[in-house]
A and B are shown apart, each in its own frame.
Chain A
């Protein structure tokens, strides 16, 4: 018997009594190996603090008592589990039905998009980033475009800015609808799932009409947007604005005073504002704790400061408050969309800086210069001055940041995305240590992580 086989066998046999340490890099991993990240039966010090989430507020500290090891078990939820919203894996140490420790393990959807971004030109960049958070693709595109535009120091025409706000707020509603729908589905409210996806379909139909695609739109580009809004877009938006409040009332009828819903979400997955700040948790989860931190107000982008809207906040920071905050944010986004509809400026939908955006098709037949610009942009791409910039916007899940370093070429030296879901996943141990296993699903669903955004 070889060493590897020996170790493998040994590990199986002694599992649960003496966990061997990770044997080293020459160890041959096999399919079911839990790897160096795995949760050990006996962990002390910082790792335990991290997994219990008690670094900041020790509200989850429980009386240390002698527990028979036979009463505890470590189970895996995921990576293939319908309620993990993608390929998220949770290692849970259970004592009966009580979760004592929990550790999120990620990386199953990692596709190296930050590496890919270094091989794509700035013009192709939006195609890449739009695939990160697949429920809010337009926010990713907007964030990337704003970061590049900051380095380019170009002005965006008012109409392009208004279109960007219109589209991203529509996208926010679509994303929150999926969050509500899947949250309902996870807790057994299957009607909510069907309602949520029904209304999202209206938005996706509008996206398809405008951008050509339902998801991964690649619509917001550096310098403006890819195309003007289609004829008759006002009618579609008006219809949506009329329908949506009625549907929101339906959701409230369905969920707000529903005793099952209340008991499954009230005081479940509680997190405080202090913990959110310490653990870099942003978005609706932060606002549900009562802290009105919204980048649309704090650091307005793309002219969103012209529109009037409020920041909904919760009080307790539990799953129910996170659900309410999302519902109210849909209402606020509807307000913004209504104002954009009423004040949509006329003019260009992209900048007329021909070094950045291609010329109109007609001009290519008439002007040599336009032909040259067209050729240069589609072969080499445009060059971005040396420098670095970090731009953050409020995505449906929190602070979405894009850090771009340019060395003066047509491709970024480094493109980093500060993914909100990636940071928010860190809330799981804090929310769930010492709660019931059934609440894991409720808390996780209300946190609304998108694995494409987590793993990139």
Chain B
């Protein structure tokens, strides 16, 4: 499926629309966003979301850690093949136990340049999550100490959670099908 098609504009709407109400009012969030001019804040189902160019992920992680977000609770990716112009999106959930806050950082990753800065230097706990993303989507992280497959066998071909990777099936034989009732 082409990444730019007639449906692309409509599909773009799957994302979150910037909402003026969503501007962060918490002092920690305000301080965090200020240096990042390209970052966009939004509210998605009542949760704080930051849309960030992928090159700035490493910097943003450092700023977030300094602002009190101690934990990378979750890092994952989504394949928007045929839904959006930019195919992949890496989604990192940062948690601040100290402030009781949670933000979701979303970085669009184009299909022809699937590489972005790793969170591991800042959040060592992102290690397994990033390996899982590499395994499942083929997105690589620069600065990751051990960019190998984690769940699939080492000699596996392809990246299973990509939308163009088939689910696979086993033909089922219904034994009773040929019997005349």
Contacts and interface: CB of A to CB of B under 8 A. Distances in A.
A37 B149 contact: yes
Q: Which of B11, B128, B136 has the most CB of A within 10 A?
A: B128
B151 A46 contact: no
A55 B127 CA distance: 12
B49 to A, nearest CB: 8
B123 A390 contact: no
A45 interface: yes
B160 interface: yes
A298 B100 contact: yes
23 contacts: A22-B154, A35-B154, A36-B149, A46-B146, A106-B151, A110-B151, A110-B152, A278-B123, A280-B72, A386-B14, A387-B16, A387-B44, A389-B44, A390-B93, A390-B102, A392-B102, A416-B78, A418-B73, A418-B93, A423-B128, A423-B129, A455-B151, A456-B151
A46 B124 CA distance: 11
Given A388-B44, A389-B44, A56 B153 contact: no
Contacts of A280: 71-74, 123, 125-126, 129
B93 A401 contact: yes
B44 A413 contact: no
Contacts of B155: 25, 27-29, 35
A410 B171 CA distance: 25
B76 A279 contact: no
B47 A390 contact: yes
Contacts of B125: 278-281, 423, 426
B145 interface: yes
Nearest to B144: A46
Interface in B66-105: 70-74, 76, 78-80, 83, 91, 93, 95, 97, 100, 102, 104
A407 B14 contact: yes
Contacts of A389: 44-45, 47
A403 interface: yes
Interface string B136-172: 1000000001101111111100001100000100000
B177 interface: no
B180 interface: no
Interface residues of B, number: 47
Contacts of B46: 150
A71 to B, nearest CB: 26
A301 interface: no
Contact of B128 (A282, A403, A425): A425
Given A50-B145, A115-B161, A426 B127 contact: yes
Contacts of A413: 14, 78, 80, 83
B45 to A, nearest CB: 4
B13 interface: yes
A127 to B, nearest CB: 16
Contact of B153 (A29, A49, A115): A29
Nearest to A408: B14
Contacts of B153: 29, 35, 107
Contacts of B145: 45-47, 49-50
Nearest to B84: A407
Given A278-B70, A278-B124, A280-B71, A151 B83 contact: no
Contact of B73 (A29, A153, A392): A392
Contact of A403 (B14, B83, B91, B148): B91
A119 to B, nearest CB: 6
Q: Which of B13, B93, B149 has the most CB of A within 10 A?
A: B93
A324 interface: no
7 A-B pairs with least C-beta separation = A280-B125, A46-B145, A35-B154, A418-B74, A107-B151, A277-B70, A279-B125
Contacts of B132: 422
Given A106-B150, A281-B125, A418-B73, 16 more contacts: A29-B155, A35-B153, A37-B146, A37-B149, A37-B150, A107-B151, A119-B167, A277-B97, A280-B71, A280-B123, A388-B16, A388-B44, A388-B91, A390-B104, A403-B93, A413-B14
B71 to A, nearest CB: 5
A405 interface: yes
Contacts of B148: 36-37
A335 interface: no
A399 B161 CA distance: 23
B104 A407 contact: no
B161 A114 contact: yes
Contacts of A89: none
Contacts of A401: 73-74, 93
Contacts of A277: 70-71, 97
A55 B124 contact: yes
A118 B78 CA distance: 12
Interface in A116-144: 116, 118-119
Interface in B34-72: 44-47, 70-72
Contacts of B73: 280, 282, 392, 399, 401, 418
A33 to B, nearest CB: 8
A289 to B, nearest CB: 12
A79 B155 CA distance: 18
B78 A405 contact: yes
B146 A47 contact: yes
Interface string A250-294: 000000000000000000000000000111111000000001010
B13 A50 contact: no
